[in-house]
Structure 1
Amino acid sequence: MDAAIRRVCVIGAGVMGAGIAAQVANAGVPVLLLDIVPPGTGDRNKLADAAVARMLKTDPAPFMAPQAAKLVETGNTENDLAAAAACDWIIEAVVERLDLKQALYRRLAELHRPGTAVSSNTSTIPLAALLGGLPEAFARDFLITHFFNPPRYMRLLEVVPGPATDPELVARVSAFCDHVLGKSIVRCKDTPGFIANRIGTFWLQRGVNAAMDLGLGVEEADAVMGRPFGIPKTGVFGLLDLVGLDLMPHIDASMTALLSAEDAFVRGHRVNPLLTRMIGEGYTGRKGKGGFYRINREAGKIKESIGLVTGVYEPSRDAKLPEAAGRDMRALMASEDRYGRYAWAVMGDVLAYAAGLVPEISDDVAGVDAAMRLGFNWKQGPFEMLDRLGPAAVAARLARDGRPVPPLLAAVGEGSFYREAAGEVEVFGTDGAYHRVERPEGVLRLADVKRAGAPLLKNGSAALWDIGEGVACFEIATKMNSFDEAVLKLLDRSLGVVAERFKALVIYTDATNFSAGANLGQALFACNIAAWGEIEKLVDAGQRGFKALKYAPFPVVGAPAGLALGGGCEILLHCDAIEAHAETYVGLVECGVGLVPGWGGCGEMIARWAGAPRMPQGPMPAVAKVFETVSTAKVAKSAAEARSMGVLRERDGITFNRDRLLFAARARALAMVDGYAPPPKPEFRLPGASGRLAMTLAAEGFRAQGLASAHDMAVAGALATVLSGGDADPVDIVTEADLLKLERRAFLALIRTGPTLERIEHTLATGKPLRN
């Protein structure tokens, strides 16, 4: 039997079902999206059609590019359920009611092909209950695949097979979700809430209760639960606003009904009159009139927060923790002030709860940590936090408080849950022994490489690593991986080392963001002391370094993920190939801070568009495309959109699973080694004065609409001069060196202007562009 998954059916076009369908389509796989026929309507596919239309307007977008929506076929469960039989995987994502789910399964049991996977996206109903009374043949093909919302952006997928589920079917679905959809798979046991929601909802419960008990405001509680623990700044109350306050009573009811009376979640459950009142008045969070936080528009868009004791909204105030406690969970937990007491009341309980749930929810400590990192965006899972705090110290404090110490926490004793041995990570198991943390085949992490050996080259801003098979990796290690002089110097040295000892080079980092571009803070400092020569040296070093990269005698592959802005985009444009993570947000954004690309980005983008399929011939079409993109500082919101912007070419690759990106980039580099030759130097025919005038007039149109300022016009004029070739005529040949000279001249002129310096300063202070 052919086991490939080539077509998927999703039943249930609510937020989750539609989002799952969108992610399947993002991966290039056709998907059938079904929902019920709404009563009293002639449009039988109304719910599914509306879901697709809604997602095309949603921000952040469920679709990585609008064309992905064309892969979603809509229908309804009355007329089109039989079409699910032609699909290789059927995902049920209907409302969380057992009777409705089982009624659907009975219909599916009659029509689905044996060996076709059927899964539920449930997060509250046990698998055993879902399968009650259904045929054994159906049970063999059934499992739970619990996606997290939003499905495009959340990497966690909890997979729960039943005792009768075919292991080969589980492996097939897991492999598809891993390689094609980009999910990190965590195997869970069939227990309430599985892993992430079991621990995460307990954390939310404790966070709310302890804040009320200890008299903390919502800002104070969120400050404690945020940065010190590596948890998103939404903390507890901000997260409740995000997911919806009205969801919490349903989760609480489900968990208390499913868990034993002795479970800490059940014992800590209490009815919250304030929460009940807020939901009744429509304060359900961001989707309603507000929640624990709200924007008071009647008072002039003032952010307010609700008093947990008074129930009255007041202007929100930032909470500042003591300096040490605000940075480090150990200092915070050791503090005896109200913040320290709150931190221990919440996280002491959470860490003890998590330790006590192994092996009930999972036999794998590393899997529990992964679920919390990927499902709740914690930087560290509970067992990693315990290692930071010291498992023995936490156990001793629990004992001093007269509370039971979980057996697993007692068993690890003075040791740690993770340790390094011979350059590899080992994790403490429920059997009392340490076991190697296995990476799936095709996963290569730079962190593992760094753990196992020393860098080939290193300074305070970058490093060069041997990642095996004759390939080296250049890693930027500054804040936001920005480029400074030290990065460019090490890049120059690295090219020499790679040429002598390696076959190819990959530009990559394990960090969340590939690169935010040039270090604007250093540039602003140099401008403020009129060190214009230093600015010119940096521009020249970037141009020389990136061109040396482009013409190196070996293939170079850029492997971005997250932000790749400004110089971060330009270095990618100089690589022989790009292997991008699907969630790469890339663009030449220099015009947003009053500059133009200065490290060769203009010429590389012109060359890309001039060579694009179906691009009209002549000097103007490619230049106009580049002007439109660069002058507006457009940033692609996915790798798919980066391809439509011309940053990625058709031959470049997109990897959906972040953990597989470095491996895929290395493989792409190795595939280019045989017969490799550096690219020829391009020669451009640019539109000259007439093209410059056309671009300037286009910018004037934006100004006439009030969409561009006077300085926007100055920046657009400088960009138009570069892209048109300066004083060249359309018949003249403009070399790459000529374009670099034009870029350098425009960049150095703009950075001396007051409005550009104001833009840089404002962006550094606020993270937002300034229109001046």
Structure 2
Amino acid sequence: MKNRTIKKVAVLGSGVMGSRIACHFANIGVEVLLLDIVPRELSEKEAAQGLTLETKSVRNRIVNDALKSALKSKPAPIFKKGIERLVSTGNFTDDMPKISKVDWVIEVVVENIDIKKIVFEQVEKYRKPGTLITSNTSGIPIKFMCEGRSDDFVKHFCGTHFFNPPRYLRLLEVIPGPSTDQDVIDFLMHYGDVHLGKETVLCKDTPAFIANRIGVYAIMSGMHTVQEMGLTVGEVDKLTGPLIGRAKSATFRTMDVVGLDTTVKVSAGLHAGLPKDESKERFVLPKIVSELNDRKWWGDKTKQGYYKKTKDEKGKKVILELNLETFEYGPKTRAKFKAVEAVKDNDNLRERLPILLNFEDKAGEFYRKTFFDIFRYCSNRIPEIADELFRIDEAVAAGFAWELGPFETWDILGVKETVEKMEAAGEKPAAWVYEMLEAGHTSFYKNEDRKRLYYDIPSKSYKVVPGTESLVMLETLRGEKVVWSNPGATLFDIGDGVLNLEFHTKMNALGGENLEGVNTAIAIAEEQGWKGIVIGNESANFSAGANLAMLFMFACDQEYDEINMMIAQFQKTMMRVRYSSIPVVAATSGLALGGGCELSMHCDAIQAHAETYMGLVEVGVGLIPAGGGTKEMALRVSDSFRAGDPEYNRLQDAFMSIATAKVATSAEEMRDMGFMNAHSKVTLNRKRVIADAKTRVLEMSALGYAQANQRRDIKVQGRGGMALFEAGVAGMQYAHWASEHDAKIARKLNYVINGGDLSAPAYVSEQYLLDLEREAFLSLSGEKKTLERIQSIIFKGKPLRN
């Protein structure tokens, strides 16, 4: 593969996708030139100011407005404020020559091949030979877009289809043209994976490529089934969300957010462009879609779709649900299915799915109809849209936020058993599935010697999934590579003398089993000569915090000695992590809150997925961080002091982040908030986090890891700092930004983070601060309002401000 470096990218087109693609390249430190058209006429404001079409601000108005709109959007397209400075703006007329200085040109203009060709003609004039040129098209054939272009252009031209929003959705489809150099394909696949953090999937140049072809089919086929079975909007969204490993927005809410018109356009395009597709009629709109399209009820963009926000007679916001028979809005329906009740306490998706599909009720029937249809359809798309089945799974899972792809799901249900049930339901899969079973192969995937293998259809054998050789995949290690386990944690041998401790409680909340796992893992590593430990998992969240249920029970029974012991054990475990004789690295992603944050901060380093959301949020349940979190923030602020620094300012930032339960919205914000030390690093691709954390362990071990001694040199401010922060607490309470209980918690925090009742700044030990933490935590756990907050989180899943 040719050695390329991407220092600067030009993004042509600043619409919803273009501006956000530009932002994501800025996220990874690449300079971006974002261009769009010159306005054809002045706005009323510009005319009133006496500006002309030649004024630079007018000529760049479209692109500048688009970038501003993107930066204001939620969720944010950038990792942290300031990153947008890497994006410079301009217009096609004045600034196209600047693309001669970039390494990659990405076209993101309107989905019209004639307009794209005009843009490419301009690009050809100024692009330097060898520069990558790609299109973010979602469906226009790549082979048609490069017609008439030079040999160098077509050799370096490819489709790169990002999914919206580009920062968050993991999929990047790479679609080569007929003359694209293999070197270019290889580079884009690697760059998308490692640098952009994407599930980079190689696609054939077929209508809608892979993800939209399968994903939109699943939606439209599902809509036909919904109409046939007479299900309600609420019932369907209950059945098609997290319950089966899909996005929380499920089916109808997703269509409202994306825009029904978008789904309709893609579906219509597929129906027209797939004359030989055996299921093309499923792309025809059923009435429950066509009726809304005719009425232009396209969802959020038109203020109504399958759901509608309104207000009741008291002015309270209410969400109404569309009746799919009368097309009138009414109260949201509550879905009640025996199948759902049967799995409500089961957090394991792989265990839930067989129960749901085999259940003899309306939910089970719906699942069988939709799942069997998708299995059949996907099997028939090979080799049309992909030669290998894993590409379909990767594209659909990453593009549509499915936890498991179609073939992975089929495996869980049993391939042979499911084929028999499909046949009985009139859904016969492709011939190659029967050939696979006849050859004695019973699954599409299998794990062997730490590797993930897939069934290769042409050779009728199993091959390693490309790109996974360098990954650490815990699913491939279950069995012989398990060193130790209990119901809440598993310790794996991940190779090269490194262990990985995985949590598998609900939301990976930390309780006694997890703490036992941490202590046991360190003891095994130290006693048996392992090089170090990674603490990480492959689930959505690193840890949502400490298990509150036990605390709530003890607090209600006023068992304060038990609470004291519980917190002391947590603190002791955190210090065991910090002062072990082997390196310990946290591999974080998703939520790392409360105790999860404290555990991460006590590790030697954090290897954070870019989308890690970390914070000390105990104030939300009426407490302060007492697992070493408050101590650790005081320690880190103390270490950051330099001669002449305004010490109070740095400490106040730490105090406020805890007092307001602030959560970092990216790994880059984690660094700014003090959660990541100098040894910590960021990984863009979620799949690579554990492997990168393992590398950090090996690096530390190779350098001669030395066990540290507990600190006794933490500078705290005493009464002076307390007095300053007290004024702020009183001010927030006076302005009604903090309730009386908020203020009480903040004062407890103030006391601890400043080192207690000391007459002057002083140096204290870690244990001194840990004792203050525990005392404050204990006193707050006896407060009625704290118990109310904990109760609200446990039983309602909602924070309470009281």
Q: TM-score, normalised by structure 1?
A: 0.96
1:249-292 CA-partner distances (Å, limit 9, x unpaired) = 2112221221115431x222334555455345553212331210
Q: Say whether the 8 Å CA contact 1:12–1:33 is kept in structure 2.
A: yes
- Please, which of 26, 32, 55 is the counterpart of residue 70 of structure 2? 55
**1:610 corresponds to:** 638
- Please, which of 467, 484, 494 is the counterpart of residue 511 of structure 2? 484
Q: Say whether the 8 Å CA contact 2:638–2:716 is kept in structure 1.
A: no
Q: 1:638 to 1:228 in 2, by over 3 A?
A: closer
Q: Say whether the 8 Å CA contact 2:215–2:400 is kept in structure 1.
A: yes
**2:317 corresponds to:** 301
**1:103 corresponds to:** 118
2:598 matched to 1:562?
Answer: no
Q: Say whether the 8 Å CA contact 2:725–2:750 is kept in structure 1.
A: yes
Q: Say whether the 8 Å CA contact 1:474–1:508 is kept in structure 2.
A: yes
**1:207 corresponds to:** 222
Q: Say whether the 8 Å CA contact 1:423–1:453 is kept in structure 2.
A: no
Looking at structure 2, the residues matched to 353 and 461 of structure 1 have their Cα atoms a distance apart, in angstroms, of 39
**1:278 corresponds to:** 292
The SS at the match of 1:511 is coil
**1:38 corresponds to:** 39
**1:268 corresponds to:** 282
Q: Say whether the 8 Å CA contact 2:259–2:298 is kept in structure 1.
A: yes
2:131 matched to 1:145?
Answer: no
**1:158 corresponds to:** 173
Q: 1:762 to 1:503 in 2, by over 3 A?
A: same
The SS at the match of 1:685 is strand
**1:172 corresponds to:** 187
The SS at the match of 1:164 is coil
Of 679-688 and 762-771, more deviation after overlay is shown by 679-688
Q: 1:710 to 1:286 in 2, by over 3 A?
A: same
The SS at the match of 1:413 is helix
Q: 1:249 to 1:219 in 2, by over 3 A?
A: same
**1:378 corresponds to:** 402
Looking at structure 2, the residues matched to 223 and 249 of structure 1 have their Cα atoms a distance apart, in angstroms, of 23
**1:738 corresponds to:** 768
Amino acid at match of 2:525: V
Looking at structure 1, the residues matched to 477 and 229 of structure 2 have their Cα atoms a distance apart, in angstroms, of 44
**1:669 corresponds to:** 697
Of 271-280 and 592-601, more deviation after overlay is shown by 271-280
Q: Say whether the 8 Å CA contact 1:359–1:430 is kept in structure 2.
A: no
- How far the C-alpha of 1:336 sits from its partner, in A, is 5.0
Looking at structure 2, the residues matched to 70 and 723 of structure 1 have their Cα atoms a distance apart, in angstroms, of 35
Q: Say whether the 8 Å CA contact 1:457–1:465 is kept in structure 2.
A: yes
Amino acid at match of 2:364: G
Q: Say whether the 8 Å CA contact 1:295–1:302 is kept in structure 2.
A: yes
Q: Say whether the 8 Å CA contact 1:358–1:365 is kept in structure 2.
A: yes
Amino acid at match of 2:323: G
Amino acid at match of 2:330: E
1:128-143 to structure 2, matched below 5 A, reads 128-143=143-158
2:348 matched to 1:321?
Answer: no
Q: 1:361 to 1:448 in 2, by over 3 A?
A: same
Amino acid at match of 1:172: F
Looking at structure 2, the residues matched to 441 and 355 of structure 1 have their Cα atoms a distance apart, in angstroms, of 23
1:619-638 to structure 2, matched below 5 A, reads 620-638=648-666
1:327-366 to structure 2, matched below 5 A, reads 327=343, 328-335=352-359, 337-366=361-390
Q: 1:469 to 1:257 in 2, by over 3 A?
A: same
Looking at structure 2, the residues matched to 386 and 458 of structure 1 have their Cα atoms a distance apart, in angstroms, of 28
Q: 1:486 to 1:347 in 2, by over 3 A?
A: closer
Q: Say whether the 8 Å CA contact 2:13–2:108 is kept in structure 1.
A: yes
Looking at structure 2, the residues matched to 73 and 434 of structure 1 have their Cα atoms a distance apart, in angstroms, of 51
Amino acid at match of 2:227: M
Q: 1:319 to 1:593 in 2, by over 3 A?
A: same
Amino acid at match of 1:285: G
**1:113 corresponds to:** 128
1:189-244 CA-partner distances (Å, limit 9, x unpaired) = 11111111101101111122221222111111222333453222432212211211
**2:722 corresponds to:** 692
Amino acid at match of 1:320: K
**1:412 corresponds to:** 436
Looking at structure 2, the residues matched to 478 and 160 of structure 1 have their Cα atoms a distance apart, in angstroms, of 40
2:686 matched to 1:658?
Answer: yes
Looking at structure 2, the residues matched to 403 and 592 of structure 1 have their Cα atoms a distance apart, in angstroms, of 51
- How far the C-alpha of 1:117 sits from its partner, in A, is 1.0
**1:184 corresponds to:** 199
Structure 1 unmatched runs, 5+ = none
Of 160-169 and 492-501, more deviation after overlay is shown by 492-501
**1:435 corresponds to:** 462
- Please, which of 570, 579, 586 is the counterpart of residue 542 of structure 1? 570
**2:495 corresponds to:** 468
Q: Say whether the 8 Å CA contact 2:100–2:128 is kept in structure 1.
A: yes
1:316-367 CA-partner distances (Å, limit 9, x unpaired) = 0221221467644434434454333333332222211011101111111111
1:148-174 CA-partner distances (Å, limit 9, x unpaired) = 111000111111112310111122222
The SS at the match of 1:80 is helix
Q: 1:198 to 1:175 in 2, by over 3 A?
A: same
The SS at the match of 1:663 is helix
Cα RMSD between the aligned structures?
A: 2.1
Amino acid at match of 1:330: P
Amino acid at match of 1:157: L
- How far the C-alpha of 1:759 sits from its partner, in A, is 0.4
- Please, which of 302, 305, 308 is the counterpart of residue 288 of structure 1? 302
Looking at structure 2, the residues matched to 394 and 40 of structure 1 have their Cα atoms a distance apart, in angstroms, of 61
- Please, which of 517, 530, 541 is the counterpart of residue 558 of structure 2? 530
The SS at the match of 1:582 is strand
**2:45 corresponds to:** none
**1:574 corresponds to:** 602
Amino acid at match of 1:675: G
Amino acid at match of 1:147: F
How many aligned positions are there?
771
Looking at structure 1, the residues matched to 271 and 188 of structure 2 have their Cα atoms a distance apart, in angstroms, of 31
Amino acid at match of 2:675: V
**1:764 corresponds to:** 794
Of 340-349 and 628-637, more deviation after overlay is shown by 340-349
Q: TM-score, normalised by structure 2?
A: 0.92
- How far the C-alpha of 1:133 sits from its partner, in A, is 2.8
The SS at the match of 1:706 is coil
- How far the C-alpha of 1:619 sits from its partner, in A, is 5.2
The SS at the match of 2:82 is helix
The SS at the match of 1:748 is helix
- How far the C-alpha of 1:549 sits from its partner, in A, is 1.4
1:416-435 CA-partner distances (Å, limit 9, x unpaired) = 21234455433222226232
- How far the C-alpha of 1:2 sits from its partner, in A, is 5.5
Percent pairwise identity: 36
The SS at the match of 1:79 is helix
Q: 1:465 to 1:423 in 2, by over 3 A?
A: closer
